[in-house]
Amino acid sequence: MDMRLSECSVAELGRLLRERELSAAELTEYYLERIERLDPAVRAYISVLADDARSRARGADATLSEGAGGPLTGVPAALKDNICLAGAVTTCASRTLADFRPPYSATAAEKLLRAGAVVLGKLNMDEFAMGSSTEYSAFFPTHNPWDLARVPGGSSGGAAAAVAVGMAPYAIGSDTGGSIRQPASFCGVVGMKPTYGAVSRYGLVAFASSLDQIGPLTRTVADNALVLAAIAGHDPKDSTSAPNEPGDYSAGLAEGARGLKIGLPKEFFRAGLASGVEKAVRDSARRLESLGAEIGECSLPHMDYAIAAYYLIAPAECSSNLARYDGVRYGLRAPAADMIDMFQASRSAGFGPEVKRRVMLGTYALSAGYYDAYYLQAQKLRTLIRQDYERVFAAYDVILSPTAPTAAYRFGEMSDPLSMYMGDIYTIPVNLAGLPAISLPVGLTDGMPVGVQFIGRHFEEALLYRAAFALEQSVAFTARPALTEVD
């Protein structure tokens, strides 16, 4: 079989399947073989669902042989391991859930299955999505396929690495403070965090419920729009799901950048931003200007407080959401003499250091005497940050910024938690405001990918895809990790 199938887009694979130039069974075997060959080095997958994938591929072939099916029918996919898939072990990369098999599928996963997708497996992540490097998985770290000594980002590091190295045509991840966009930048792929409420969170194991959002990671902008359309839309099972229907995110891709008003936030170009990343963003702005966009400087004055606000709000919600893992209702139960000891022993053995750190921080922020001083103040700052964006969007259509302040770093370089937290400085404000944002690769610095981020108004994903597609076509980023070519 042609080794270049891993270079095909999701749309191209769908066309090959519909025109019967390729069967879903053949395509599934191709990707299962790539996983078997490449994943021992990358470690993107926690579990590979080979038998289930083969069964779904046979079903997809039956559908396609009848002339039915859509653009995703028979195309393999992979899911971050905090997205429930009925009967499949869903661990959240935690010892607490090492043997948990959900009795239902997440709405996003269910929509993909109804669209005919073939799920290859579940992908590694930082435990309970708490981390920015996938070093905090309880099982093993995932390696960046561009340089195995470097991190792939996080918490959707397995998803980004799998797509980058061609072990899945696309993946579904989650983004609470940058967990789709930052690994997309580190691994040279496209990652979209949709508007809060655009994609159902039902069946997504919760970290911070007011911030979590499911979204796609793909090789191209057009593929990303295609996949998001399949998983977006209202879901009565999710009380925070927006009533909006997704529409056609691909319809305006070819309209180009002409006439778009694009803002560059001056607060995002300060100390701490690597020179190679800043150059990539400013080069992207010049490209967009040459394509007919209007570029101007804008201001988001409360961005300096975003990290502090986030690391009070997210841990507070984490403290509440993870209270259910008590050795009784879910997950690991440690032997103990009485119930209190069992509760303490189960959580001590089940949670890793970063999860414990955030649970303790959140519990403290919500405790008597500190709620008003910390949590309430953080929520007020969240409102100010949202208002900053509203003022900018009164003058600009989209915002262009770095996705992360650096390219992928080496394992162990961010051992100080605060240093790692600061790596999400450009992505966290978007989650606090509930806005959509997309990261796409635009070049390399010191041999590693660099991504830029477009931020848009609520539910204007189609406009973000238009801007990102225009830049993608102009940049024509075709570099791939050397590991992709390993036979």
Q: Which residues are catalytic?
A: 80, 155, 179
Alpha helices in 237-352 (DSSP H): 275-290, 306-321, 339-350
C-alpha to C-alpha distance for 386 and 395, rounded to whole angstroms: 15
DSSP E strands: which ranges in 127-284? 170-174, 190-193, 214-218, 261-265
Task: Quote the CA–CA distance of 72 and 204 in Å, as a whole number.
Answer: 21
Q: How far is CA 278 from CA 163, 230, 405, 440, in A?
A: 25, 34, 8, 15
Residue 419: C-alpha distances to residues 131, 179, 365 (Å) = 11, 16, 21
DSSP state of 372: I
CA–CA separation, 25 vs 58, rounded Å?
6
Categorise residue 369: left if φ over 0, alpha if ψ from -120 to 50, beta otherwise: left
Residue 92's region, left for phi above 0, alpha for psi from -120 to 50, else beta, is left
Q: What is the DSSP letter of 255?
A: G
CA distances from 487 to 4, 77, 480 (A): 11, 22, 15
Token pair 């990539």: residue: 280
Measure Cα distances from 6 to 13, 163, 451 in Å: 9, 9, 21
Q: 245: which residues sit within 8 A by CB, 6+ positions away?
A: 233, 234
Question: Who's near 231: CB < 8 A, 6+ residues apart?
Answer: 108, 111, 112, 172, 199, 214, 216
Residue with tokens 């075709």: 478
Run of H or E residues at 208: none
Contact 194, 216 (CB under 8 A): no
Strands (E), 359-483: 398-402, 437-445, 448-455
Give the number of other CB atoms < 10 A from CB of residue 248.
11
Q: Which residues contact 172 (CB under 8 A, 6 or more apart)?
A: 77, 78, 79, 80, 83, 108, 109, 112, 159, 214, 215, 216, 217, 227, 231
- Encode burial over 397-422: b for 16+ CB neighbours within 10 A, e otherwise: bbbbbbbbbbbbbebeebeeeeebbe
Q: Judging by DSSP bridges, how do beta strands 261-265 and 190-193 pair with one another?
A: unpaired
* Amino acid present at 221: V
